Every structure is written in structure tokens, then in C-alpha cells.
């Protein structure tokens, strides 16, 4: 089980200090929500901030690109030590050849490549061929764009279907879920088959001293 604290919920004015709260904690990724103001109505981390984070971070960086032009970011983020590069299926739902091309391109530059689906996108759009090419599938359990939203329980069905498909085809992709994750919804997501939990306020609302216990409570 991997916990991916979402830096969207961190103190942006003290990011270097915020990273220190995770010193010594294992099985942890740092989740970066990259938004362009077009695919979603919000703007977050840009290139300079991510470049600095890549130099400071002691844990793998997990970047979720909520952008209309992921190829631009595939090219421009390649030197920032991004471990996992996730972009959205919906950008290419009417151009699947381009989707496959970008997955393959990203795999030449990043150790792990993921694809995300919005809450109202049916999990069945992810064909066997797509799933075989991926290292990770990110199920959004809130509408992408803003933190602090309420968990959408229908997302658990998608997690269950992905787990079933993964077992049936003996695939290796990891199932990640993002949005409204707290102690209760984390348990439900894990029971459904999630292996990677993105959590923001459930972690960052706690003091530095209680960070490890907050993470432990999500998976216990």
C-alpha cells in the first residue's frame, strides 16, 4: 500500500518545511496536482516549483496532469525526476491512437505512466489494450480541480472492476484513488482494491508530530 500525500493541501509558503514531515516514512509518494486552468478551472504548480521540489524531495514524485496538452508536459518535465506521470483519458477519448502514442512516449521518459478517469467517465472505456500498456490507473473520486471535496462512493465500483480486470488478465498496473480520502473512505477504497491512496487534508490538517500516525490511521 502506497500513500501519496497531495501537496495541494500543503502550506505553499513553506513547502520545504512541509516535505520534512515525511522524513523516515516509507511506502510514500508525493502527489503533485498539475492544473492548467483549461482542462480544469484551476491553476497550481508550474515548472519552477516542481523543479525545486524535485531537488528537495526524498520520496518519489507522483504527478497528476489535469491539462489539455499532456505532451507538452511529457517533454518539459522529463528532467524533474518525476517517478509517475499520469494524464487524463478524457483529453483523448475521441482520438485513441493519439492516447496510445502518448502512453508509449511517456514510458520512454518516466519509470511509471498512469491514466486517470473523471467521476462520470465509465471504467469500461479503459480497454484491455490500454490497461496492458499502463503502470497505474487513477480513479478520481471527486471532480478534478479543487481539493477538499466530498468522496463520491460510486468510484468504489470502478476500483472493484479494475481489480477484477487486473486479476483476470494478470496485469501489473496499480490502482490509485484520489479525492475525499479520509480514515473511513480509505478503508472502503482499500477493501474495493485500491493500492495507492492520494490524501490531502486528511494528512496535512495534522501537526508535524502526528503526520506518521495520520498516515498509519489511513491504512490500519
DSSP string, 141-201: SS-TT-SSPPP-TTHHHHHHHHHHHHHHHT---EEEEESS--HHHHHHHHHHT--EEEESH
For 61-103, the pLDDT digits (tens) are 999 999 999 999 999 999 999 999 999 999 999 999 999 999 9
Q: How far is CA 152 from CA 33, 68, 90, 139, 189, in A?
A: 19, 24, 19, 11, 11
Entry pTM: 0.95
Task: State whether residue 4 is helix, strand or coil.
Answer: strand
The CATH code that applies to domain 2-219 is 3.20.20.70
User: With contact defined as beta carbons under 8 Å apart, do 35 and 69 qualify?
Assistant: no
pLDDT at 54: 95
Residue 1 reports pLDDT greater than 70: yes
pLDDT at 148: 67
pLDDT at 147: 65
User: With contact defined as beta carbons under 8 Å apart, do 135 and 158 qualify?
Assistant: no
CA dist 206 and 216 (Å) reads 13
pLDDT at 45: 84
Query: Would you please indicate which residues are annotated as catalytic (active-site) residues?
Result: 33, 178
pLDDT average, residue stretch 208-216: 94
CA dist 211 and 174 (Å) reads 24
More confident residue, 36 or 191: 191
Crossing angle of helices 211-219 and 183-192, in 10° steps, is 40
User: With contact defined as beta carbons under 8 Å apart, do 145 and 119 qualify?
Assistant: no
User: With contact defined as beta carbons under 8 Å apart, do 116 and 64 qualify?
Assistant: yes
Domain residues of the chain, as ranges? 2-219
pLDDT at 56: 95
CA dist 213 and 144 (Å) reads 27
CA dist 63 and 69 (Å) reads 15
For 196-208, the pLDDT digits (tens) are 999 999 999 999 9
pLDDT at 144: 83
CA dist 94 and 91 (Å) reads 8
For 120-168, the pLDDT digits (tens) are 999 999 999 999 999 999 999 998 876 667 899 999 999 999 999 999 9
For 10-68, the pLDDT digits (tens) are 998 999 999 999 999 999 999 999 999 888 888 888 899 999 999 999 999 999 999 99
Considering only CA atoms, which of 86, 93, 81, 96 is closest in space to residue 120?
93
pLDDT average, residue stretch 170-189: 96
Amino acid at each position: 500500500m502506497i500513500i501519496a500525500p497531495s501537496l495541494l493541501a500543503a502550506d505553499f509558503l513553506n513547502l520545504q518545511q512541509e516535505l520534512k514531515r515525511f522524513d523516515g516514512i516509507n511506502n510514500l509518494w508525493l502527489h503533485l496536482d498539475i492544473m492548467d486552468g483549461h482542462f480544469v478551472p484551476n491553476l497550481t504548480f508550474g515548472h519552477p516549483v516542481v523543479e525545486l521540489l524535485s531537488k528537495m524531495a526524498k520520496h518519489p514524485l507522483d504527478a497528476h496532469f489535469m491539462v489539455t496538452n499532456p505532451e507538452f508536459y511529457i517533454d518539459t518535465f522529463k528532467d524533474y525526476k518525476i517517478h509517475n506521470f499520469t494524464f487524463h483519458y478524457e483529453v483523448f477519448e475521441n482520438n485513441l491512437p493519439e492516447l496510445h502514442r502518448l502512453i508509449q512516449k511517456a514510458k520512454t521518459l518516466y519509470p511509471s505512466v498512469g491514466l486517470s478517469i473523471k467521476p462520470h467517465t465509465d471504467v469500461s472505456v479503459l480497454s484491455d489494450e490500454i490497461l496492458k500498456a499502463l503502470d497505474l490507473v487513477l480513479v478520481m473520486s471527486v471532480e478534478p480541480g479543487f481539493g477538499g471535496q466530498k468522496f463520491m462512493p460510486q468510484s468504489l465500483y470502478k476500483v472493484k472492476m479494475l481489480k477484477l480486470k487486473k486479476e483476470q488478465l494478470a496485469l501489473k498496473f496499480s490502482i490509485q484513488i484520489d479525492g475525499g480520502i479520509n480514515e473511513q473512505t480509505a478503508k472502503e477504497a482499500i477493501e474495493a482494491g485500491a493500492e495507492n491512496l492520494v490524501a490531502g487534508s486528511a494528512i496535512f490538517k495534522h501537526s508535524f508530530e502526528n503526520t506518521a500516525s495520520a498516515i498509519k490511521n489511513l491504512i490500519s
